[in-house]
Structure 1
């Protein structure tokens, strides 16, 4: 067991291999093509192949083939084994050094409280998908959640197709504006309870760690802004994105937050990512 942990730690001791693993963790439950990883991290394909092979051999990454492409996912079980071994041994030897860990473990066994929760949806442009998610959750459960959205590189204006869909669905669009994630970082920012990325590009970017360790999940889906064709075809893409997000948010609001501990809740929001991303409204 110790040799397995040493191999995992040695593998993650390389800056770029660690960056790959962190990206795949952010993309759970997705399986990500090697080419997308290379583009997101600026790593040459030949070099990336070597890094992915090392991570796979260490049991930190799994690989599967889809057609001619190789897809990679974070091996959560392998990472959990490493963490459990490290911390269990550490706490047996020097529990005073692991006080923060034991506190986190106790917190993980407690249900979430019944207060109002802060939720942030992130995409790259903050012009369509994250705006949809913000509007849907506010309308469906605004009494239980304070809802925000932001972009890692927000566009200067909201997408007109997205605004049209929201107006047709009876949402108040007057409260919406494009924002940067920096508004939700720093001492004056709200303490976030949930952070959801709704596009792959935003999830590929390594945002700074959020204070308070909010529960995070990746709910990626196709970008309706990139849809081509007639106006009707483009409009359909926005309707489908809205419908898929509404399905996921409906499932999220149905979770019994007052009875689920953090671990169970994390698994639940990860499962929601598997709901059909092509659903109609």
Structure 2
């Protein structure tokens, strides 16, 4: 290779390694701890940790301390950053190969309405926000519910205000519910938004795909991030971003429907 030949884009260099690609595909489905990624990849922990560090340095993966055990961290794949990196890599090869930076919206109904359960501890902020946003984005095409392991007496006022002001959604009459009240219901996806509830979530059967989104409780946000309403705005934005990438899994797009 001549020294003047252009190097492959950073995303291509990162993703081309077999173990890093395996880690990316695992994290595309759910947030995981290192020991879970070690088990899934079947590789030594020091090797997995090394490649996770490279992915973090490349801006594709982030880490967040577990609220269940502060000695642990959850790793998360930034799908927005991956979309941008993929688009830039395609453009570097040919201008016509740049890809869309956001996932396509669902457009056709599924044969059966998929059922999604969002779970967190208090069912007062994160999970009702997720429930409201997914219901809003799918316009009734998904059966969506939320519940908590230790539900609070009422929804957090900032969650209610944020959804009303920024999304035009009114959940003021909704009340937190306990996860135990849903035992026996069928769910296609059970999505935990809290590290604590992931450890105690009831079993909803083999048909339920378990997904974890490690998202801090905005009601207990700590410095240096602003607390109060700004914390709820950040939380809702992160949840909404994740939901947009969940949509193609729930409702088929025209390209996925067979003639």
> Do they superpose with TM above 0.5?
yes
On the 8 A contact 2:220/2:227 being kept in 1, the answer is no
In structure 1, the partner of 2:200 is: 206
Q: Is residue 172 of structure 1 aligned with residue 167 of structure 2?
A: no
In structure 1, the partner of 2:159 is: 162
In structure 2, the partner of 1:196 is: 191
Q: Is residue 127 of structure 1 aligned with residue 124 of structure 2?
A: yes
Equivalent pairs, count: 172
Match of 2:45 among 26, 37, 62: 62
In structure 1, the partner of 2:213 is: 219
Deviations 1:91-120 (A, max 9, x none): xxxxxxxxxxxxxxxxxxxxx962111111
Task: Give secondary structure in 2 for the equivalent of 1:196.
Answer: strand
Q: Which runs of 4+ in 1 moved over 3 A?
A: 59-66, 69-73, 254-259
On the 8 A contact 2:160/2:172 being kept in 1, the answer is no
The gaps in structure 1 that reach 5 residues or longer are 1-26, 35-54, 74-111, 260-281
Deviations 1:227-263 (A, max 9, x none): 2579x7421110000000011111111347448xxxx
Q: Distance in 2 between matches of 1:256 and 1:148?
A: 14
In structure 2, the partner of 1:234 is: 228
* Structure 1 position 167, deviation (Å): 1.5
Q: Distance in 2 between matches of 1:208 and 1:184?
A: 9
Q: What does 1:110-149 correspond to in 2, within 5 Å?
A: 114-149=111-146
Match of 2:148 among 136, 151, 155: 151
Higher normalized helix content (fraction of residues): 1
Deviations 1:136-155 (A, max 9, x none): 01111132111110001111
In structure 1, the partner of 2:12 is: none
On the 8 A contact 1:117/1:145 being kept in 2, the answer is yes
Task: Give secondary structure in 2 for the equivalent of 1:149.
Answer: strand
* Structure 1 position 208, deviation (Å): 3.1
On the 8 A contact 1:116/1:146 being kept in 2, the answer is yes
On the 8 A contact 1:114/1:258 being kept in 2, the answer is no
TM-score (norm 1): 0.51
In structure 2, the partner of 1:29 is: 31
Q: Distance in 1 between matches of 2:250 and 2:223?
A: 42
Q: Distance in 1 between matches of 2:192 and 2:117?
A: 8
TM-score (norm 2): 0.55
In structure 2, the partner of 1:182 is: 180
Task: Give secondary structure in 1 for the equivalent of 2:200.
Answer: coil
